Amino acid sequence: MQGANPALDPEKAKTYTFGVVIQPMRNLSASVDYWRIKVDNAVGVIPPATSVTQCIATGQFCNLIHRDPLTGALWVGSGFVTGTNINTGSIKTSGIDVTVNYIYPIGAWGSLGFNFNGTWTKDFIQEKVAGLGAYDCLGLYGAVCGAPRPEWRHKARGSWSTPWNVDVALTWRHIDAVDVELSSSNPQLAGDFFPVVKRLGERDYLDLAASWAITKSVTLYAGVNNIFDKDPPITDSSIAGPAAGSGNTYPQVYDALGRRIFVSLTAKF
């Protein structure tokens, strides 16, 4: 059983950042930012798998398990495990953000632009319940870690601004591969799994967009997202589905809709 909880307390977080910005030439700038975040009293759920495991091993969380009163079954009939939002343990994560911007004039043909945004995550350590022990979800996904936590992801964009009021841009989105948490050596996560779900492979998407300023007040936009119609990685619906009703993939991370063509017209009055 999943749902909200009116008795939740606010999360408490400490955030540390340090950054450097350099501009070696007029049209080139770059920045590197280190960040570290620690969240206490984090809002989340105790994964049903954790509740069942701890109930068997220590007797903890047995009050969250409700068996069918007639058959004693847990996963069929009226049996369920309570998984409403609560203030759980803590989250610690750190990493580095990298940004590069460059504009290259090409005379009467306008200018070319380049933008790059990348994030490298060093760790993503969770302790769902204080005292149960922490585990690093970096590079993993699953019922306990949740949505994929790739070590590296970036977005690179090349653009051409023409002197004819037309702009064209090509964007490359990259997401690193992740492994199912059950393959981890951490006993909090390790377990049996089907080989087919061990890895969600890296994904690369290309998007093309253009705009035409027909007049000062009317602009036409058109483009194609996911040009090559790349499918999202697929996993077991029992892993990806229960927490967010996402079926057998993670639409909050991957492009689940395939190729999409869009056209729009805006007018200012």
DSSP lists the bridge partners of residue 105 as 111
| Residue-level pLDDT at 1 | 62
Please state, as a whole number, how many other Cβ atoms lie within 10 Å of the Cβ of residue 24. 7
Residue 220: name the closest of 176, 166, 141, 143 by CA: 166
Which helix (DSSP H) or strand (DSSP E) does residue 57 occupy? Answer: helix 48-58
CB 97 within 8 A of CB 32: yes
| Residue-level pLDDT at 244 | 52
- Return left, alpha or beta for 23; rule: phi > 0 is left, psi -120 to 50 is alpha, else beta: beta
| Residue-level pLDDT at 22 | 97
Q: Which long-range contacts (CB under 8 A, 24 or more apart) does 158-163 make?
A: 158/112, 158/113, 158/114, 159/112, 159/113, 159/114, 159/115, 160/110, 160/111, 160/112, 160/113, 161/110, 161/111, 161/112, 161/113, 162/109, 162/110, 163/108, 163/109, 163/110
DSSP lists the bridge partners of residue 29 as 101
| Residue-level pLDDT at 61 | 79
| Residue-level pLDDT at 242 | 54
| Residue-level pLDDT at 2 | 67
Do the strands 12-25 and 166-175 form a parallel or antiparallel pair, or are they unpaired? unpaired
Per-residue pLDDT of the chain (269 residues; tens, 9 = 90+): 666 778 888 989 999 999 999 999 999 999 999 999 999 988 877 777 777 877 888 877 788 888 888 787 776 777 888 777 778 789 999 999 999 999 999 999 999 999 999 999 999 999 887 777 899 999 999 988 889 999 999 999 999 999 999 999 999 999 999 999 999 999 889 999 999 999 999 999 999 999 999 999 999 999 999 999 999 999 988 777 655 556 789 999 999 999 999 999 999 98
Report d(CA 59, CA 78) in Å as an integer.
Answer: 22
CB 210 within 8 A of CB 222: yes
Torsion angle in degrees (nearest 10) through CA of 130, 135, 140, 143: -40
Q: Model's pTM, two decimal places?
A: 0.85
How many angstroms from the chain centroid is the CA of residue 80?
Answer: 28
Report d(CA 145, CA 68) in Å as an integer.
Answer: 28
| Residue-level pLDDT at 188 | 86
| Residue-level pLDDT at 165 | 95
| Residue-level pLDDT at 77 | 72
Report d(CA 91, CA 207) in Å as an integer.
Answer: 34
Residue type, 146: G
